[in-house]
Structure 1
Amino acid sequence: MKPFFITLDGIDGAGKSTNLATMRAWFEAHALPVLFTREPGGTPIGEAIRQLLLDPATEANVRTETLLMFAARQQHLDEVIRPALASGVNVVSDRFTDATFAYQGGGRCLPLADIEILEKWVQHSFQPDLTLLLDIPLAVSMQRLAQNGSQDRFEQEDRAFFERTRQIYLSRAQAYPSQYRIIDSSQPMNTVARTIQAALAHLFGQDA
């Protein structure tokens, strides 16, 4: 069986950390080789860029921010994602290019056409086999973020920023339905977990 590239994405507060644990458990239960990674990050260069971009003290315009995101992504693809897939290992990434369209394109209002140029330059035709999009009402997201002890540079943005971000996520999922699975992550944790397990089972032709 060919290995798959799977991404988990959504606005802040959607529950990615909890559901990544669900995915880890599913892969372990089915004895499937998998590598978990994240964006920005996954490599020494990527992690340095992550620290810079999430730091509330960082001042960067949206073009600088977007270029740094794709610089980290290029390194991630070259060092981690492509080599793992080539060796037969499945890859699960906490965020990928959808996040750039959503946060820099939607949240920061950068023209999507500009992001598409960078996407083609860095990725060529490479895309995830499956994107699990955790969707959550803005009110729930804002409530969860407010409960955080400290917030990074993006988590500090206002409601309008996250509304624009969420809408780009949803529009991309609706435009490419064969790649995306929209999951209402405001549902009970067990319900969300079963939905994720079913999506992975369908992809791999396995029992949930």
Structure 2
Amino acid sequence: MPFFQQIDIQDAHIYIWQLTETVAQLKVGLTLSQGEEERLCTLHSEKKQREFLAIRHLLQEAQLPTKALYYTSEGKPLLDGQYISISHSHDFVMIALSLRPIGIDIERCTPRILRLAPRFTPWQAPHDMDELTQIQAYTQLWTIKEALYKVTDLSSVRFYEDLQVPHFEPLAPHQQALVTHPEGDKVYQVQSFFGEGYVWTVASQE
């Protein structure tokens, strides 16, 4: 299907694409620069090619030229004049745009998160919580931490220790999160969404 959804959150704009098209279908309606064509050719995975093209469609939906997007040597996406964050998982690709630093992450809910949870969070689900809710809650925590990591843009931040949700409420749409760092702790507002078997979270500084 084409463009899936746009969501406005305060001064942030979220654009979501649900990937169902082939590479050839996604090329329709796009005029790529020579640099973009060259970058597309370096992507040997069809999945990555489809994600690359979907991101360009989302930029067009945001009324931005596709060539406005560029990357640092570390692979961080940049736009002149505003901040951008990008995430993709299986059938979904999304971008977040804001005049303030922003981070976004989307993940599909799978039982695998239950095995990974002790590696990235000290929070433990209550014993009376059913498995489906546990999967959603731990996936939510993962997306919060990933979104925080993106918005802080500090490579020295430790994923387990420094990205915190001190009073985590499972499946709550709004939470407060904290990034601890020698340069000073920072508080962030995070907002999570649930649907289509996915969880996605956007983080912005207070």
Q: TM-score, normalised by structure 2?
A: 0.30
Larger Cα-atom Rg: 2
What's the TM-score once normalised by structure 1's chain length? 0.30
Could you say which structure has the greater relative contact order, defined with CA pairs below 8 angstroms and 6 or more residues apart? 1
Larger relative helix fraction? 1
Structure with the higher strand share, 1 or 2: 2
